[in-house]
Structure 1
Amino acid sequence: MDEVEVVVAHSERATLRVGDVFLKVDADQARVDVEVEMMALAPVPTPKVLWRRPPVLALAALPGTTLGRLGGPSTGAPAGWAAAGAAIRRLHEAPLPPRTGRAGRSIAALTAELDDECESLVTNGVLPADLVTRNRQVAEAALRPWAPAFTHGDLQIAHLFVDGDEVTGIIDWSEAGQGDALYDLATFTLGHEEHLDDVMASYGFGIDLDVIHAWWSLRSLLAVRWLIEHGFDPFAPGCEIDVLRSRM
């Protein structure tokens, strides 16, 4: 009998693996609706939907492996990172989906959220004021007009699978929609700056490094408190706090 593996679990959702099947349990059915819709529209490989019985979505496991994980060493060769860059480019050049995704929040809304979060991090003693202030300055470059693209919205390194120099699939599409393409690129390379050149070489034109750096800072600042509250450790080596320290 296959064992049940808990892939990720927190108060909002959980993902289990049983053999070659992933079971996603999510109390927010609207989020699952978005995931299924966006996978159908995406011009890149995605998991096959096996069945859906709310609150559970069953997906077939993808072949291949990830290129690594945040807080750990990269296990992928440069060819795999280059393949990822090309696949992300295909996604960003696809016809726009009908909804705005996480990467498409307005400048005003994002600025307000960032300022509130920075104040909370300092006031509650979560992070030193100088670390927050410096990264808030770096993050400013991301708060600019951008042309909408088809974005994944949560393109963590653990969400893209490769086999050699071929992308075999991308998972977790619940945050997808119209948004800033550089948000995806920054999310994918977060904590793995050494592979940014490999991704850029195949992604092509339109990459502003200042904006990539800004998104690293911005995403990390917004994530710290949520991660702590949901049982994750942003202070682990190579994770969000180290990303923020690297901007000092």
Structure 2
Amino acid sequence: MSDVGVLLRQWRTTRRLSQLELSSQAGVSARHLSFVETGRSQPTRDMILRLATELDVPLRGQNELLLAGGFAPAWAETSLSGPRLAQVMSSLRDVLTGHHPYPAVLIDRHWTMIDANEAIRPLIDGCASWLLEPPVNVLRLSLHPAGMAPRVDNLAEWRTHILHRLGQQATRTADPVLRSLHEELTGYPGGTVQQTPDGLVVPLRMNGLSFFSTTSVLGTPLDVTLSELAIEAFLPADATTAAALRGD
């Protein structure tokens, strides 16, 4: 098989689509798709992008497909510290600041902390210093026995939620780093529970406080780096937590 054919087949298999289903969605013949996957036919740049769109391949993965097919990447990948992203990064930090007194962190595709507001400090107090040395992985910090885990009141429930979410993300993105992280975190102690739909959200309970989280991403990113950023924001799950964080 050609390199691009191998990658396309992997993405199709990950998305659990048959050749017939994908070809129908993309408006190409199943025979031609089969030839592409086996290397008997070389896809055009437009064909690669069309198939990638139907497969919901992230921008980084689309670039990898194009490179494997012998084409230049379609999407730029800009440094977070470069001048081109300065205004966007400034605005994202404004969002973090504006979320105070509630905790919020800016993360990349591997859950590495890019920035955080001051309200995050009470949550990470008591964590081992080496876990707080950059690059800080917020999921490792959350579940590691030397991190937040000893102070998480509902650790088994929270751990189950984190592992399930990370596992889904690793499958959707086909990212080996996320798969490795999932394997690492699975080995940490803390137990799991059978989650039932009797509540509204899975809370994070710490130090007598209770939070639920929201995830915000850029709506129309045209840059690989920006497409992989997210703000994980925590909100009070009860009136007691809200009052405590506001200092009422």
Greater relative contact order: 1 or 2 (C-alpha under 8 angstroms, separation 6 or more)?
A: 1
Q: Same fold (TM over 0.5)?
A: no
Normalising by the residue count of structure 2, what TM-score does the alignment of the two structures yield? 0.28
Normalising by the residue count of structure 1, what TM-score does the alignment of the two structures yield? 0.28
Whose strand proportion is higher, 1 or 2? Answer: 1
Whose helix proportion is higher, 1 or 2? Answer: 2
